[in-house]
Structure 1
Amino acid sequence: MRRRALLAAALATPALAEEPWPARPIRLVVPFPPGGSSDFVARVAAERMARGLGQPVVIENRAGAGGNLGTEAVARAAPDGHTLGLGAVGTLAVNRFLFRRLAYDPDRDLLPISLLAVVPNLMVVPPALPVASVADFAAWARARGAAVSFGSIGNGTSQHLAGVQFNMLTGTRMVHVPYRDPAQVNSDLMEGRVQVLFQTIAGVADLARSGRMKPLAVTGEDRVPAFAGLPTLREAGVDVTTTGWFGLVAPAGVPEPVLARLEAEAVAAIADPAVAARIVEAGSLPRAGGRAAFARFIAEETLRMQAIVRASGAVAD
């Protein structure tokens, strides 16, 4: 009897030694500075996911190199489900074509969990510009060639690539002017030093509503509640679909049961009406769909961005 009890205890020991998950707070690395759309979406989703997971989801902002530094940290983290990353159009689709070398492979080193939000860009021009529609602006810009410029917050951003795509689709020859400071690019537009921006809604909504910028359309496939009366560029006849977007990723090697749980909690977070309302209020569109849908989305975006980045001729290093 004693031998049987000892054997039973020995067999039970490995199961008892297994660490439950999540066993401690989960780190969510946001590879961009605090205060922007990426940081906001991550915090809103993390707050809701923490309730379902029973552990805090702690945001770690780790900016640099267009998001590459923080994303590399996620790719190199232990695949135990306690480190996640916020993936973006740049880090998962654009940067592989923009940088000569990445220290991580988006397809090999990272696992998609769920898309969280799409971030349309607002096409805005100076109030004094004599145009009232996208068609007016395209005709006006074609007549002036390279004398027309558009600003963005850097090479390879969705704002830059939206302008490149606009050139490709309309035959305009606008020159790209990259900025480091979003406030400066907004100021230069209002003062006419650049003639158009494809800026995040959160970055220019107040300026557009107050009349200091003239909004013409939004990028992406859907109208946005914040400017419900404004057409998409597709509706205006110029199919500029380039947007920002954010989703959750994990290091390759995370166990399947953990991935399934993370997927379920992320999808539930975005489906929560309170979470969705906060994302919409901030100028983004809540989107979810789980691992398979997010993987397809990344693959489609990668193909689309490859052509646009190559057309831009931009390099970041």
Structure 2
Amino acid sequence: MRSETRVLLVSGLCGGLLAMASSCLAAAPYPTQPIRLIVPFAPGGGADANARRVAEPWSKALGQSIVVENKPGAGGTLGASFVAQAPHDGYTLLYATPGQQMTAPYLFKNLAYDPFKSLVPVGKLSVGANVLVVTKSLPVHNVQELIDYARAHPGKLGFASSGVGSTSHLAGELFKQKAGVDIFHVPYRGTGPARTDLMSGQVPMTIDTLSVYLPLIQSGDVRALGVSTLKRDPAFPDLPAIAETLPGFEAVPVNYIAAPAGTPRAVIDKLNATLNQVIADPRVRNSFEKGTSLEGGSPQEMEQLITTEQAKWKALIERAGIKPE
């Protein structure tokens, strides 16, 4: 009996120690190691620049470094797939744009992740204006002149985008649809490469991130025709809204942070709280270019916005006759 009692005592003690160890592990502070922030586009674009602007102050708020990594391709879905398949421990995050969850279900047939289920929002980061810009050699100076030129040269004008399913892609499709013009899509692996070809005249037009193209507009390397918001941007009152020529035209990129599904709620909540803290900092807000509005909010609010935007873009894609590839 004494031997049995001794075995039971030892077993109970071991069980208690294991339970305590598990409890301590579960209660371990987060984060305890560097965090990877995946940008699903090439370096040099708006998403890349904004991710780097937020990474440093967010690192300080969390007490751990945030390392920005670029994984471009397939309209941002390659980077999204990488994050979706990463361990759901909060150490691999996605700098998300509309192309990974809001539009991907309707543009790609064989995704390696489920846009509806594989990723969960951490929080909203920003909303930015896009701008319609053309190469200097194109003989147009306003939206109506561009429409007239496109109608006179059907099938000759290509519009650049940062990738299939990106806001710049769908903005171009929306322009094509509302203006009734025959233009074609030229996808790139990020805004940076598209910008380079636009400057050199390899592609004549794009509707992409205002903050990225602003220096080129100011230097005269490209010509701005209008912003993609319903009304003029207060920071650029002399730049018309495309909607002044094409009523109802609106195509604005929503940027947010996402994590793999299954990431613990406590981790999501900490990431969200610190992200909102960073967004509220005037120094961070001032570091972002004009035309970008930092907004923040809860994971639940971002989840609802994703659902709303999915319905909006699905309708546009179907009207445009775009088939999943």
TM bracket, shorter-chain basis: 0.7 to 0.9
Question: Which among 194, 197, 200 is matched to residue 187 of structure 1?
Answer: 200
2:39 and 2:72 in contact (8 A); partners too: yes
Q: How does 1:15-26 map to 2 (within 5 A)?
A: 15-18=23-26, 19-26=28-35
Q: 1:287 aligns with which of 289, 295, 300?
A: 295
User: 1:309: which partner in 2?
Assistant: 317
Per the alignment, residue 113 of structure 1 pairs with 122
Q: Which moved more, 1:175-184 or 1:69-78?
A: 175-184
Matched-pair contact (CA < 8 Å) for 1:72–1:104: yes
Which residue, 224, 229, 234 being the options, matches 2:238? Answer: 229
Cα pair 1:267 1:289 within 8 Å, conserved: yes
1:168 is aligned, of 177, 186, 192, to: 177
Moved more, 101-110 or 215-224: 215-224
Structure 1 runs not aligned, ≥5 long: none
Structure 1 residues 239, 255: CA separation in 2 closer, same or farther (over 3 Å shift)?
Answer: same
Q: Could you list the runs of 5+ residues in structure 2 that have no partner in the other structure?
A: 1-8
Query: How far apart in 2 are the matches of 1:243 and 1:225?
Result: 15
Residue in 1 that maps onto 2:259:
250
Query: How many residue pairs align between the two structures?
Result: 307
TM-score (norm 1): 0.84
What whole-Å deviation, never above 9, does each CA across 1:13-57 have from its counterpart, x for those lacking one? 543343221122222122222222111211222212222211111
Paired with 1:57 and 1:25, the residues of 2 have a C-alpha distance of 6
> Which residue of structure 2 lines up, in the alignment, with residue 78 of structure 1?
87
Q: Could you say which structure has the larger radius of gyration?
A: 2
2:160 is aligned with 1:152 = yes
CA RMSD after TM alignment: 3.0
Match for residue 54 of structure 1?
Answer: 63
- Cα deviation for residue 219 of structure 1 reads 0.8
Q: 1:208-219 residue pairs with structure 2 within 5 A?
A: 208-219=217-228
Cα distance 1:20–1:305, how it changes in 2: closer, same or farther (>3 A)? Answer: same
TM-score by length of 2: 0.82
Partners of 1:288 and 1:256 in 2: CA distance: 18
Give the match's secondary structure for 1:265. Answer: helix
Shift of 1:147: 4.8
Q: Paired residue for 2:307?
A: 299
Identity among equivalent positions (%) equals: 34
Partner of 2:3: none
Alpha carbons of structure 1 residues 50 and 225: separation in structure 2 relative to 1, 3 Å: farther
Structure 1 residue 152, shift from structure 2 partner: 0.7
**Which residue pairs with 2:4 in the alignment?**
none
Which amino acid in the other structure matches residue 81 of structure 1?
Answer: G
> 1:213-253 CA deviation, whole Å, 9 max, x = no partner?
33221113464466342132234443222233321001111
Asked whether the equivalents of residues 155 and 183 of structure 2 are also in contact (C-alpha less than 8 Å), the reply is yes
Distance of 2:297 and 2:281 partners within structure 1:
13
